[in-house]
Structure 1
Amino acid sequence: MNNSCELRVQKGNLLISPPLTEDDFFHNSVIFLAQHSNDSVVGFIINKPIDIKINDLIEDFPNVEVKVYFGGPVATDNLYFIHRAPHKIDGSIHIISDMYWGGNFRQVKELINDGILSIDDIRFFLGYSGWGVDQLREELENQSWIIDELDHSLFEWDVHKLWKNRLCKKENKYKLWVNAPKDVSLN
């Protein structure tokens, strides 16, 4: 991989799956990178809500309508979260600008229950997407991902149109492909 591409991959970046990605986990996915170290990269698929509410997973969670997203194929029995409330949630890890991940889950429940933390300021994920640095480097060399930069908060995006919108904004050459069926032989 050339050094310029390697330097561009950092926490806070987006990885966009190219059109016609065959992997079911990552087909039409946009992944927000929460961690990038010398050893590993961790991210969450931010545009795949699942048909499970947080109350279905956590018995004593406040009675609010909160979507849960499929974060990726790793540790799918674990719940993760990204939020904009670092001063209210101990143990939060800074990603970029006003975005953090993790922290004290008991505090999250209390803050939502007390109306102090808005559900508009937090996203929950089952599982995560993870790579060894060399693995991601190889996937980037093979053009398995398109790197994009975050231009505003992920909390403001329409997740149902996110993949298509980000891809068209990033690369003109993909406009023809964004409406193609998953299996183009059926077209």
Structure 2
Amino acid sequence: MIRGTDVAPGTLLLATAELADPNFAHTVVMLLDVNDEGALGIVLNRPSPVLVAEVLEPWGALCAEPEVLFRGGPVSPDGALAIALLRDSEDVPVGFRTVVGRLGMLDLDTPVELVDGGIGGVRVYAGYAGWGAEQLQEEIAEGSWYVVAGEAGDAFRADTTDLWRDVLRRQPGHLAWHTTRPVDPNLN
């Protein structure tokens, strides 16, 4: 587990049972930007039934399975944000901004022809999760989030149903034990 003060782009936040906000219940959030003004991330495990091709037609063909729009968070749910995985870290297309390794944010205003071939997969999110300065640190300190290292594959899983459990299970030590914790410990 990463120390709570070590949040950085690419870090994952896993909602704990202490987090009361229904927008984030049982979510996995990948941080895309962290600075003195706050943090921005996307919820990785909330697919919608809406196909990307229905909303952003030219991007549908480049989307990773499932080719649906994901609900990225409660902020600006009418806007779209995309992440992409480069095929080759040495060949960075126009409109791509690296987050960590080959994973980055993709500007959806970029013509598809300029990125096709250089991108191994795209995922599009409606909305995002955002925190003001120190807000995320306070939520971590109060026990709302487990802070763990992310992997590029976490953002492109075809089936995100068990993502929270699988990410937690791969953690060292006692943290992995939380995968067996019941939603309501009083029922145990």
TM range (shorter): 0.7 to 0.9
CA distance in 2, matches of 1:49, 1:19: 21
CA distance in 2, matches of 1:13, 1:53: 27
State the TM-score, normalized to the length of structure 2: 0.79
Map of 1:45 onto structure 2: 43
Residue by residue, what CA displacement relative to the aligned partner does 1:29-48 show, whole Å, maximum 9, x if unpaired?
A: 00111101111200010111
CA distance in 2, matches of 1:46, 1:63: 18
Percent pairwise identity: 23
Deviates more, 1:30-39 or 1:95-104: 95-104
2:165 equivalent to 1:164: yes
2:15 equivalent to 1:11: no
Map of 2:107 onto structure 1: 103
CA distance in 2, matches of 1:62, 1:175: 35
Residue by residue, what CA displacement relative to the aligned partner does 1:124-178 show, whole Å, maximum 9, x if unpaired?
A: 000000001311111011011110102443355341110111123331331322x
2:172 equivalent to 1:142: no
Extract unaligned runs of 5+ from structure 2. none
The alignment covers a number of residue pairs equal to 175
CA distance in 2, matches of 1:39, 1:25: 22
State the TM-score, normalized to the length of structure 1: 0.80
CA distance in 2, matches of 1:74, 1:24: 14
CA distance in 2, matches of 1:94, 1:62: 19
CA distance in 2, matches of 1:135, 1:104: 29
Q: What amino acid maps onto 1:146 in structure 2?
A: Y
- More strand as a share of residues: 2
SS of the equivalent of 2:22 reads: coil
SS of the equivalent of 2:82 reads: strand
1:1-187 matches, cutoff 5 A: 5-6=4-5, 8-19=6-17, 21-58=19-56, 60-61=57-58, 64=61, 66-85=67-86, 87=91, 89-108=93-112, 110=113, 116=117, 121-157=121-157, 158-170=159-171, 171-177=175-181, 180=182
Deviates more, 1:138-147 or 1:84-93: 84-93
CA distance in 2, matches of 1:22, 1:147: 17
Question: How big is the alpha-carbon RMSD for the aligned residues of Structure 1 and Structure 2?
Answer: 2.7
Distance 1:155 1:117, change over 3 A: farther
